[in-house]
Amino acid sequence: MVDVSEVEDTQGLVLIPDEPLHTYLHRVFKPSKVLVGGVVRFKSDFIARNIHETAGIKISWTDNLANHLRLQRDGKVVHIFHHANFLKHRLHCLYFPDNLIQETLDTLSLLFPHSDGKTRALFDKQRSLFAEAGLDRKLVECGDLKAEDRNLNHFNFWRDRIEVLKDAFEESSPTRATLKVLRDRKNGGNWLNSWAAIVAIALTLFFGLVQSIEGAIQVYQLYHSKSEG
């Protein structure tokens, strides 16, 4: 079942008696009024798989379209509306604001690119873990977002939430990425080997630097001894 009610912040978004559905939906889903200065593009690594695995932001699947891309719990959980099939069948529905449905599908194409096999594998794993949620397999069949559309100003209805998610991802990624390189979750031995390799490289560079400095000092001393002689 798909929900369009606002459950997190009901102020001003409660269904008014006798209010037409069209009016309600236009009141709930409003486009951003302010464009982002310049062109803020999404890098190729800004996808759900990296958001989940690298930045450590948990995906919470929601049936509520109004909660799509909402970040909660101090930036540790992001809600994703998974009913792609519902969206595709309502591309021309007059009840929703113009372009809202297509833009929502574009957010799914951005975060779950069909060309990324690991993203599809992650989603299949999520479908198994949350079988009772009935996650829509069509979500990973929305294609890849076109290169010219991979910028913040392409999104009007979801711009603010995508920007918040992008910032949370970029702030969380460096530390997580470093740990991910050093740690193989399936094999603790590889984690130790990674540390050993890094220490070995660091020592090699250190002793190489020491030898270079010693060589420079010897050349300097030899030059001055000849000058004085």
User: Average pLDDT of 60-79?
Assistant: 93
Same-domain check for residues 97 and 194: no
152 and 222 co-located in one domain: no
Residue 56, domain member (yes or no)? yes
210 versus 69: the higher-pLDDT residue is: 69
Q: Is the residue at 196 inside a domain?
A: yes
Percent of the chain with pLDDT over 90: 57
Based on the domain organization, do 83 and 156 belong to the same domain?
yes
Tokens read off for 39? 């062109």
| Tens digit of each residue's pLDDT (9 = 90 or more) over 80-123 | 999 999 999 999 999 999 999 999 999 999 999 999 999 999 99
In the chain, how many domains are there? 2
My answer on whether 64 and 96 are in the same domain is yes
In a domain, residue 71? The reply is: yes
- Could you tell me if 124 and 58 lie in one domain? yes
- Is residue 226's pLDDT more than 90? no
Q: What pLDDT does residue 27 have?
A: 92
- 132 and 44: one domain? yes
- Give per-residue pLDDT as tens, 131-164: 888 999 999 999 999 999 999 999 999 999 999 9
Are 77 and 178 in a shared domain?
yes
Q: Is 185 a residue whose pLDDT tops 80? A: no
Could you tell me the residue range of the domain that residue 124 belongs to?
21-30+39-182
- For strand 77-81 and strand 58-62, is the pairing parallel, antiparallel, or unpaired? parallel
Residue 88, in any domain of the structure: yes
110 and 146 in a common domain: yes
Asked if residue 198 and residue 114 are part of one domain, the reply reads no
Q: What is the pLDDT at residue 74? A: 83
Q: Are residues 178 and 193 in the same domain?
A: no
pTM for this structure?
0.71
Average model confidence (pLDDT) for the chain? Answer: 82
Q: What is the pLDDT of residue 9?
A: 46
In a domain, 13, yes or no: no
The sheet carrying 58-62 orders its strands as: 58-62, 77-81, 71-72
State the pLDDT at residue 108.
98
Residue 15 lies in a domain: no
